[in-house]
Amino acid sequence: MKALHEMGVAELGRALGSREVSSAEVTKHLLARVASHQHLGAWLSVDGDNAIAQAQAADQRRAAGASGPLLGVPLAHKDIFVTSVLPTTAGSKMLEGYMSPFDATVVRKLADAGTVTLGKLNCDEFAMGSSNENSAFGPVRNPWDPSRVPGGSSGGSAASVAARLVPATTGTDTGGSIRQPASFSGITGIKPTYGVCSRYGMIAFASSLDQAGPLARSAEDCAILLSAMSGFDERDSTSANRPPQDFHAAMRRPREGASAARPLEGLRIGLPREFFPAALASDVDSAVRASLRELEKLGATLVDVSLPRTELSIPVYYIIAPAEASSNLSRFDGVRFGHRAKRHGDLLDMYKKTRAEGFGPEVKRRIMIGTYVLSHGYYDAYYLQAQKLRRMIADDFQRCFLSCDVIAGPVAPTVAWKIGGKGDDPVATYLADIFTLPASLAGLPGMSLPAGFGEGGMPVGLQLIGNYFDEATLLQAAHAFQQATDWHTHAPAGI
């Protein structure tokens, strides 16, 4: 049997089901690994006693005849999901020590499936960032090279899976914050269609973009988790009113006309020319194109398509997202919950000092941008125009899907950069999101899967984007690719 920390979600579920190992054993083993890898900065809170109690309860349920692919499987949550047992900070001093009176829907659904929560994971403050350097509690380090970023904003989630501290984690994706850290950290992550997973209890950054999703070792693991996480929630007005789906079963369903040697027979994969610009790093380009050739061997057909407004996705996103952030973060005023300045004069002075002390530089920057574009005289010129372009970006995707089933390309223009490498130029960090932003603006499902290695031995991710509510096709293609390759099984040296 593999070492316990080397097992993914599916493997662990099978081992627990056959009684080869107990949840309590796995939980204690992983808690010890978390304690020995604090140098990565990935964990903000751990509750070992509660985790062991949950594991023992899961073992008792199995002993009584209960079953399930996630029963007794340990995981951890991005600290953007509120939890009633563990503190929730959103990576900000504004919420340091905050205890929620309830659990986020995603957290509750996974708990109902029998998972064991080990703790909460570091993230960019209020999920604003692409490197996990914006957390008030310090940066997260990439397990492949601790001098580099793990990606963001779900950096703690990605680093923890890559370092084999936990088989899976939750994350959120607003403009690429599941896919980009999955790519930088050499793991698999999926952002489902907007509305598939409830946003209730997920601290809002940009409400029309935020979406929860899993990060894990493989597409199969992600499918198991997504099946449990998804579903309609009447408490979330943006939740898609659709029946529950078994993504794992859909992923394993053979395609019509496919064979064991060519499981992707008939699948049309679109390659937008805008996703392969001259500025794309050669190491990323080589790894992605090699992966595309592998998909062709598996029966897929490559089709040239175009997403002509790809470059416009950056200005569109960085108008819409800060505008929504400006509105959402107005609730952090020192009155109802969170940080309050100790020394202040009148009420207005308290507001000013509380927000000045509680928010970090990147959050302040985005609030100021958002407030500006929503202000009188600028709403029509900036925000309204951005929303019109957003609709046009979504229309571009629908034209592509007339001639293809899935769109493929790189996740990011380069591999992970050095910590502090872009600290003086936030716009350079924004530009690194160019390939993930279009799908987010359109509300489409997208995923990243390990596709090789580039400069410095750092992971490269292949991005797959599907049509609305067609996560099954994405997972099917990713699973077939991972059955034929072993990139997703590689672990950082010394881990």
Q: Which helix (H) or strand (E) holds 216?
A: strand 211-216
Q: Quick check: is 153 catalytic?
A: yes
- CA 278 from chain centre, in angstroms, equals 27
Q: Quick check: is 78 catalytic?
A: yes
As a whole number of Å, the CA-based R_g of the chain is 21
Residue of 23, 153, 183, 230 marked active site = 153
**What distances in angstroms separate CA 356 from CA 310, 337, 363, one per listed residue?**
35, 16, 10
**What distances in angstroms separate CA 83 from CA 104, 154, 239, 375, one per listed residue?**
6, 17, 20, 35
What's the CA angle centered on 199, arms 163 and 135, to 5 degrees? 45
Question: Token pair for residue 210?
Answer: 């935020």
Residue of 78, 120, 191, 353 marked active site = 78
Nearest to 434 by CA among 266, 313, 304, 286: 313
Cβ atoms of 74 and 166 within 8 Å: the answer is yes
What's the CA angle centered on 144, arms 139 and 148, to 5 degrees? 40
Residue of 177, 198, 230, 448 marked active site = 177
Give the C-alpha separation, 254 to 232, whole Å: 27
**What distances in angstroms separate CA 183 from CA 66, 186, 225, 411, one per listed residue?**
36, 5, 19, 7
| Residue 114 CB neighbours (<10 A) | 24
Identify the residue whose tokens are 């040296």: 493
Query: Hey, what long-range contacts does 374-383 have (CB within 8 A, 24 or more apart)?
Result: 374/323, 374/326, 374/327, 382/319, 383/319, 383/320, 383/323
Q: Which helix (H) or strand (E) holds 18?
A: none
Q: Quick check: is 440 catalytic?
A: no
Cβ atoms of 54 and 83 within 8 Å: the answer is no
Cβ atoms of 422 and 429 within 8 Å: the answer is yes
E-strand spans in 279-346? 301-305
Question: 442 burial class (0-12, 13-18, 19+ CB within 10 angstroms)?
Answer: buried
Cβ atoms of 488 and 218 within 8 Å: the answer is yes
Position 58, amino acid: A
Question: Which residues are catalytic, by number?
Answer: 78, 153, 177
